[in-house]
Amino acid sequence: MTTIANNLQQVLGRMAQACTVAGREPGAVGLLAVSKTFGAAAVLEAVAAGQRAFGENYIQEGVDKIAAVRAAMPCVALQWHCIGPIQSNKTRPVAEHFDWVHTVDRLKIAERLSAQRPAHLPPLQICVQVNIDGGATKSGVAPQDAADLVRAVAKLPRLAVRGLMCIPEPAPDFESQLAVHTRAKRLFDEIAAGGIPGLLQFDTLSLGMTADLEAAIQAGSTLVRVGTGIFGGRSYPAT
C-alpha cells in the first residue's frame, strides 16, 4: 500500500470514529482530498485508493491538474472543488473546469461564474464562504450577511447553492474548535430553515481540516477538507 493510500485509510478511520462518537452514520460526512501543490501523480495514487473528490486552491494549477488526471484516467468520474480565493478576472476557468466552488463571498463573483458557466455542463455547485469567527486574515461574508448573499446567489442561473464553507482561525483545543464549528452549524441550519427560494438542496457544510476534523464532525460538518493528512507536508515556492 502506498503512503497516500495508507494515509487515506487513516483519515477515513478518524472520520468513522468521529462519526461514531457524534452519534452520526459514517457515511454522513464526505472527504475532500486537498491536492494543492501536489502533482497529478499524487492525485492518481489517491484515485487508485478510492478517493473521488479533490480540492484545489490555485486556479491555474487546478485546471492543469484536472486535464492531466482526466487524460490519465478518462473513464473515472471525479469531482473537482475550487476551495481557494477567486479574483474577478479568474472566474472563467473556474466556471469552465470545476464542479464545485466553496469560496463565493460576494455577489459579483457569483454573477460572473453564472454568466461564464458553459451551457453544456451541469450547474456549478456553490458554497458561500462565511468568516464565522471574524478572523482578520480570513475571507468570507460576515455571518449576519450570509443569508442575504445565499438568497441573491440562489436567483442566478447555472448555479446551485448547496451550503456554506468556513475556515476558522486555528483553535488550541477540541472544545474551542467545537464552539466555533457549532456556530457555523447553527448558521447553516438557520439558513436552511429560512425558506429561501431556489434552495433546492441546501445540504453541504464544508467545515474541518486535518487538525480539527473531529470537532467539525461533532458539530455537524458534512464535508471535511484534508490535505496534509493524506498527501503529507507541503513545500511552497519561495516568493
pLDDT (tens, 9 = 90+) of the chain, 239 residues, equals 679 999 999 999 999 999 999 999 988 999 999 999 999 999 999 999 999 999 999 999 999 999 999 999 999 999 999 999 999 999 999 999 999 999 999 999 999 999 999 999 999 999 999 999 987 788 999 999 999 999 999 999 999 999 999 999 999 999 999 999 999 999 999 999 999 998 989 999 999 999 999 999 999 999 999 999 999 987 655 54
pLDDT of residue 2: 79
pLDDT of residue 4: 97
Contact 214, 226 (CB under 8 A): no
Phi then psi for residue 127, to 5 deg, are: -115, 130
The answer to whether position 236 is within a domain reads no
pLDDT of residue 19: 98
pLDDT of residue 235: 66
pLDDT of residue 239: 47
Provide the 3-class DSSP secondary structure of residue 25: coil
Q: If you ran DSSP here, which 8-state letter would residue 130 be given?
A: B
pLDDT of residue 1: 67
CATH code at 190? 3.20.20.10
Contact 100, 71 (CB under 8 A): no
- The one-letter code for the residue type at 20 is T
The answer to whether position 235 is within a domain reads no
The answer to whether position 16 is within a domain reads yes
Domain count, the chain: 1
pLDDT of residue 26: 83
Q: Is the dihedral of CA 234, 139, 147, 188 positive or negative?
A: positive
pLDDT of residue 199: 92
The answer to whether position 143 is within a domain reads yes
Q: Which residues pair with 124 in a beta bridge?
A: 159
The answer to whether position 30 is within a domain reads yes
The answer to whether position 116 is within a domain reads yes
pLDDT of residue 238: 52
The answer to whether position 239 is within a domain reads no
**In the chain, alpha helices (H):** 3-22, 40-48, 59-72, 91-97, 107-116, 143-154, 174-192, 213-219, 228-231
Q: Which residues pair with 164 in a beta bridge?
A: 128, 205
Task: Record the pTM.
Answer: 0.95
The residue segments making up the domain with residue 220 are 3-230
- Rounded to whole angstroms, how far apart are CA atoms 110 and 91? 9
The answer to whether position 142 is within a domain reads yes
